Structure 1
Amino acid sequence: MIKRLADGRWLADVEPVKGSRYRKRFTTKADAVLFEAQKRAEHSDGNKRPKQDKRSLSQLADRWYQLHGHTLTDGQRRREIVKLHAQELGDPVASQLTAKAYLLTRGQLLSDGTAGKTLNNRLGYLKAVFNSLIAFDDIAMKNPLSNVKPLRLQESPVTFLTSDQIGALLTAVTATRSPDDLACVVRVCLSTGARWSEALSLTKDRVKGGAVEFVNTKSKRVRVVPVSPDLEKRLRLHLDNHGYFSNCIRGFHQALNAAEIDLPKGQATHVLRHTFAAHFVMNGGNILVLQKILGHSTINMTMRYAHLAPDHLREAVTFNPLRQLFDTTNKNSP
Structure 2
Amino acid sequence: MIDRWATLHAHTLSDGEARRRLLDTMAKELGDPVAIKMTGNEYAEYRTQAIKGGANPKTLNNRLGYLRSVFNVLHQLGEIDYANPLARVRPLRLQEKELAYLTDSQIETLFATIHRYCRTPHVAMVAAICLATGARWGEAQALTPDRVRNQLVTFVNTKGKRVRSIPIALELEQQIHRHFMQHGQFSNCLNSFDKALGESRLPVPAGQSSHVLRHTFASHFVMNGGNILTLQKILGHTTLAMTMRYAHLAPDHLQDVVRFGPASDHQRFLSIITP
- Assess same fold via TM > 0.5: yes
**Residue by residue, what CA displacement relative to the aligned partner does 1:37-88 show, whole Å, maximum 9, x if unpaired?**
xxxxxxxxxxxxxxxxxxxxxxx33422321221123333333332333233
1:169 aligns with 2:110: yes
- The 8 Å contact of residues 213 and 224 in structure 1, kept in 2 or not, is answered as yes
Determine the C-alpha separation between the residues in 2 that align with 1:166 and 1:224.
24
- The 8 Å contact of residues 211 and 227 in structure 1, kept in 2 or not, is answered as yes
Cα separation, partners in 2 of 1:92 and 1:313, compared to 1, 3 Å: same
* Amino acid corresponding to residue 142 of structure 2 in structure 1: S
1:186 aligns with 2:112: no
How many angstroms does 1:296 deviate by? 0.9
Determine the C-alpha separation between the residues in 2 that align with 1:262 and 1:119.
27
How many angstroms does 1:319 deviate by? 4.3
Determine the C-alpha separation between the residues in 2 that align with 1:107 and 1:125.
18
Determine the C-alpha separation between the residues in 1 that align with 2:184 and 2:28.
42
1:127-146 superposed matches below 5 A: 127-146=68-87
* Amino acid corresponding to residue 45 of structure 2 in structure 1: L
* Amino acid corresponding to residue 312 of structure 1 in structure 2: H
1:216-231 superposed matches below 5 A: 216-231=157-172
Determine the C-alpha separation between the residues in 2 that align with 1:218 and 1:167.
29
How many angstroms does 1:142 deviate by? 2.6
1:285 aligns with 2:226: yes
Determine the C-alpha separation between the residues in 2 that align with 1:317 and 1:273.
30
Determine the C-alpha separation between the residues in 2 that align with 1:197 and 1:133.
31
Determine the C-alpha separation between the residues in 1 that align with 2:31 and 2:116.
48
Determine the C-alpha separation between the residues in 1 that align with 2:67 and 2:78.
17
Determine the C-alpha separation between the residues in 1 that align with 2:100 and 2:172.
25
SS in 1 for 2:14: coil
- The 8 Å contact of residues 219 and 297 in structure 1, kept in 2 or not, is answered as yes
1:122 to 52, 56, 63: 63
Determine the C-alpha separation between the residues in 2 that align with 1:262 and 1:79.
36
1:90 aligns with 2:31: yes
Determine the C-alpha separation between the residues in 2 that align with 1:329 and 1:149.
48
How many angstroms does 1:331 deviate by? 8.4
How many angstroms does 1:209 deviate by? 0.8
SS in 2 for 1:224: strand
CA root-mean-square deviation: 2.1
Determine the C-alpha separation between the residues in 1 that align with 2:180 and 2:238.
30
Determine the C-alpha separation between the residues in 1 that align with 2:209 and 2:234.
21
123-132 vs 72-81, greater mean Cα deviation: 72-81
Q: Determine what percentage of the aligned residue pairs are the same residue.
A: 51
* Amino acid corresponding to residue 197 of structure 2 in structure 1: L
Which structure has more RCO (C-alpha within 8 Å, separation ≥ 6)? 2
**Residue by residue, what CA displacement relative to the aligned partner does 1:60-118 show, whole Å, maximum 9, x if unpaired?**
33422321221123333333332333233233232332211110110111122212111
Determine the C-alpha separation between the residues in 2 that align with 1:266 and 1:90.
31
SS in 2 for 1:132: helix
Aligned to 1:112: 53
Runs of at least 4 residues of structure 1 off by over 4 A? none
- The 8 Å contact of residues 173 and 179 in structure 1, kept in 2 or not, is answered as no
SS in 1 for 2:160: coil
SS in 2 for 1:174: helix
Instruction: Name the structure where strand makes up a greater proportion of residues.
Output: 1
- The 8 Å contact of residues 121 and 183 in structure 2, kept in 1 or not, is answered as no
Q: TM-score, normalised by structure 1?
A: 0.76
Structure 1 unaligned segments of length 5 or more: list them. 1-59
Aligned to 1:208: 149
Cα separation, partners in 2 of 1:310 and 1:68, compared to 1, 3 Å: same
Instruction: Name the structure where helix makes up a greater proportion of residues.
Output: 2
1:249 aligns with 2:190: yes
Determine the C-alpha separation between the residues in 2 that align with 1:325 and 1:168.
42
Aligned to 1:310: 251
Aligned to 1:265: 206
Determine the C-alpha separation between the residues in 1 that align with 2:176 and 2:70.
41
161-170 vs 189-198, greater mean Cα deviation: 161-170
SS in 2 for 1:100: helix
1:80 to 8, 21, 28: 21
Aligned to 2:98: 157
Aligned to 1:326: 267
Determine the C-alpha separation between the residues in 2 that align with 1:65 and 1:176.
43
Determine the C-alpha separation between the residues in 2 that align with 1:199 and 1:256.
18
1:237 to 171, 174, 178: 178
1:67 aligns with 2:8: yes
SS in 2 for 1:225: strand
- The 8 Å contact of residues 203 and 243 in structure 1, kept in 2 or not, is answered as no
* Amino acid corresponding to residue 158 of structure 1 in structure 2: L
Determine the C-alpha separation between the residues in 2 that align with 1:91 and 1:275.
44
Larger CA Rg, structure 1 vs 2 = 1
**Residue by residue, what CA displacement relative to the aligned partner does 1:177-209 show, whole Å, maximum 9, x if unpaired?**
434200111011111010111011101111111
